[in-house]
Structure 1
Amino acid sequence: MPETVLIADDDVELCQLLGEYLEQEGFEVRFAHDGEQALAQAAAPGVNAMVLDIMMPRRNGIDVLKALRQDSQLPVIMLTARGEDLDRILGLELGADDYLPKPCNPRELVARLRAVLRRASTPGGPALVEVEDLQLDAGKRELSCRGERIDLTSTEFSVLQALLQKPGEVIPKRELYLAALGREPVRYDRSIDMHVSNLRRKLGPNPQGEPRIETVRGIGYQYRVGAGGSA
């Protein structure tokens, strides 16, 4: 059954262009041309991912993403104006899975969509990973801490999964890009950094009161295991 992508952009001509290309690649496509339509369509049954533009009437893309993330982890790829770093960073902070600058290459958009949809539907590694007070269920793509569920986006889940599979080891940033975004890192791209920042905020400190994820400058990230912690 084909997967359904919602394209939310007030540029009707661009929507038609991207929609035709996605349909040729086997997707079903729906459209929304303002923020209110985007939220309504995203909540409709059958939508598997959304391509969301920043600049839209009625509600901009940032407001749409903020409202969406209150109760949905639908995979979202943001479209941002080339060079607008603030919009890109804010979108990732609010839970966008990935981003593309406009004008975007339709082939690149298809590759990003397939990567994010593959991550959202395919468990990787052990079905159940337990590290200290965290329990990660790859089959259900759910995370709990001390029995309380923590909502993560698809990309945040994949980043944490890669770290928890090797607790105490330094995971190179390139490995996290491939595992969580399905692509090589590019210059000045801080996507993984922003997803790690989101994880730190959502997870809080470990049982020893220390940061759970440590930056190893020039290399990548490490999930710290305190004294007595185990995988």
Structure 2
Amino acid sequence: MQLDLSGFDAVFREGHDKDYFERDLTVGYSFYAVGHLMYGATFGRVYNPPEEFREKVEESGTPFFEVDADVHETYEMVPRWKRTFLLLGSPIFTLIVLGSTGQVVIRGLGFLGLTAPTWIPYLAAVLLVLFFGLTWPLGFFGLIEGEAKGGRDDYMTERIQEITAENGFENVFVSCGDAHRKPIARSLEQDDWKVVEQPSKHWLARIISLADRITGRILSPIETIKEGKNQIRNRI
């Protein structure tokens, strides 16, 4: 990973504090914490390992700051009643995602003139058994993250501004996922910051960004309907 920080006074990084025990381990929070661990061990590692990024920054001698909300703070950004609703609904959401993925794979094999291996049904059975221990927490984590995204955007923006003002920084580098990039940039621009955006070119980042948008549509059906109506009106 090439990282030129010669023109920056500091680097700000998205990413949760991984101290899971700053809050009581309720059923919902335990599911969320397990999902966060799974996400970090899979997508997070493939996409951009945080330790590698931090090492690169420290090697350059540039001050490094993690500005994201802690894990328990992010979880509590979602009201209790909604967390309960998402916990109960996340199995359905996850099964839909798994089923859709399976259909895409099967149709893709059919399009290529191939047949699914005979061991696929057995693999599906194993995955179903593992569902409650693995996939359900990951799905619940994704739904909570989608619901708390706006709160995290505001939190990170405020931390960036506070640390910059306290230390007198002029040029700073902000590393965050594409789902947070535009909201943070817009908030900083509203406070007269000059922002230069650089979207991620990593293939997994684009997939995650698409998944975030889909999750956002599902979690905000009223807003999705309103936006759809506005788009239709603009085309008429």
- The bucket for the TM-score relative to the shorter chain is under 0.3
Q: Which structure has the greater CA radius of gyration? A: 2
Structure showing the higher helix proportion among its residues: 2
The TM-score, its normalising length taken from structure 1, stands at 0.26
Q: Give the structure, 1 or 2, with the largest relative contact order (CA under 8 Å, sep 6 or more).
A: 2
